[in-house]
């Protein structure tokens, strides 16, 4: 049993091949139109400013956050807690927090 295989490249154009190329070109044209339509709609949408959502300040700070506010290292904050110079609230064995009100000027 022998099979005849037509090479893909260099073969003579066929009606089916022409039809497939036309369909592919039509699909590309539709995809470009959809992309352009999406870009046009995106350009029409109003821009929402990031400042529209107010920032929420935490009530309790980690040692690192408290240190950043005070301009000192987190280990210095831990030392101040050990010396009793800063109050601490514990939400668990590994979750000590500094009340934000303790850092207010």
pLDDT per residue as tens digits for the range 22-36: 888 888 988 888 888
Report the chain's C-alpha Rg in angstroms. Answer: 34
Cα distance between residue 81 and residue 68, in whole Å: 15
On whether the CB atoms of residues 100 and 59 are closer than 8 A, the answer is yes
Q: Which two tokens stand for residue 79?
A: 């030392």
Residue 8 reports pLDDT greater than 70 = no
Burial class (CB in 10 A: 0-12, 13-18, 19+), 36: exposed
Distance between start and end Cα atoms, the chain: 95
The structure's pTM equals 0.48
Name the residue with tokens 């005070």.
70
Per residue in 35-60, pLDDT (tens digit) is 888 888 777 777 665 566 777 889 99
Angle at 67 between CA 81 and CA 50, to 5 degrees: 135
pLDDT computed for residue 57 by the predictor: 86
């Amino acid at each position: 049993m022998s099979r005849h295989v037509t090479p893909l490249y260099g073969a003579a154009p066929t009606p089916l091949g022409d039809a497939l190329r036309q369909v592919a070109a039509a699909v590309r044209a539709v995809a470009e139109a959809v992309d352009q339509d999406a870009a046009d709609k995106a350009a029409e949408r109003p821009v929402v400013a990031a400042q529209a959502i107010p920032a929420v300040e935490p009530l309790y700070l980690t040692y690192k956050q408290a240190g950043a506010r005070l301009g000192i290292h987190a280990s210095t904050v831990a030392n101040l807690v050990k010396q009793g110079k800063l109050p601490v609230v514990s939400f668990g064995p590994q979750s000590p927090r500094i009340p934000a009100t303790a850092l207010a000027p």
